[in-house]
Structure 1
Amino acid sequence: MPITKVPVLNAANVLTVVRIVLVPVFVVLVIMSGMTDPGLRIAAAIAFGVASFTDYVDGWVARRFNLVTSFGKVADPIADKALTGTALILLSAYGVLPWWVTLVILVREWGITLMRFYVLKWGVMAASRGGKLKTVLQIGAITWYLFPFPTPWSYAGPVLMFSALVVTVVTGVDYVIAAYRLRQAAGAQ
Structure 2
Amino acid sequence: MNIPNILTALRFVLIPIFGYALYNEHYLAAIILFTLGGITDILDGYIARKYNLVTSFGKLADPIADKLMQITALILMTMQELIPGVVLIVVVAKEIFMGLGSISLYKKHIIISSSWYGKLATVVFYFAIIMTIIFKMSDLSNGYADMLVKIFIGMAVASTLFAFVMYVISYRKISNKSK
Same fold (TM over 0.5): yes
Match of 1:36 in 2: none
Report the secondary structure of 2:53's partner residue: coil
Amino acid of the structure 2 residue aligned with 1:30: L
Report the secondary structure of 1:68's partner residue: coil
Q: Is the 8 A contact 1:22 1:51 kept in 2?
A: yes
- Alignment of 1:10 with 2:8, yes or no, is no
Match of 2:57 in 1: 71
Equivalent residue pairs, number = 173
Match of 2:127 in 1: 140
Residue range with higher mean Cα deviation, 77-86 or 104-113: 104-113
Q: How far 1:29 sits from its partner (Å)? A: 0.8
Match of 1:104 in 2: 90
Match of 2:42 in 1: 56
Identity of aligned residues (%): 34
Q: Is the 8 A contact 2:102 2:111 kept in 1?
A: yes
> Using the alignment, how far apart are the partners of 1:153 and 1:54 within structure 2?
29
> Using the alignment, how far apart are the partners of 1:176 and 1:136 within structure 2?
20
- Alignment of 1:181 with 2:167, yes or no, is no
Matches within 5 A, 1:27-38: 27-33=19-25
Amino acid of the structure 1 residue aligned with 2:96: W
Match of 1:83 among 69, 77, 82: 69
Q: How far 1:46 sits from its partner (Å)? A: 1.3
Question: C-alpha offsets along residues 20-65 of structure 1, whole Å, 9 cap, x if unaligned?
Answer: 11111111111221xxxxxx21221111111122111111111111
> Using the alignment, how far apart are the partners of 1:67 and 1:124 within structure 2?
16
> Using the alignment, how far apart are the partners of 2:96 and 2:49 within structure 1?
24
Q: How far 1:91 sits from its partner (Å)? A: 0.3
Gaps of 5+ in 2: none
TM value normalised by structure 2: 0.88
**Larger Rg belongs to:** 1
Match of 2:116 in 1: 129
Residue range with higher mean Cα deviation, 22-31 or 125-134: 125-134
Aligned-residue Cα RMSD (Å) equals 1.7
Q: How far 1:124 sits from its partner (Å)? A: 4.0
Query: Which aligned runs of 4 or more in structure 1 are off by greater than 4 angstroms?
Result: none
Q: Is the 8 A contact 1:122 1:182 kept in 2?
A: no
> Using the alignment, how far apart are the partners of 1:88 and 1:165 within structure 2?
12
Q: How far 1:78 sits from its partner (Å)? A: 1.5
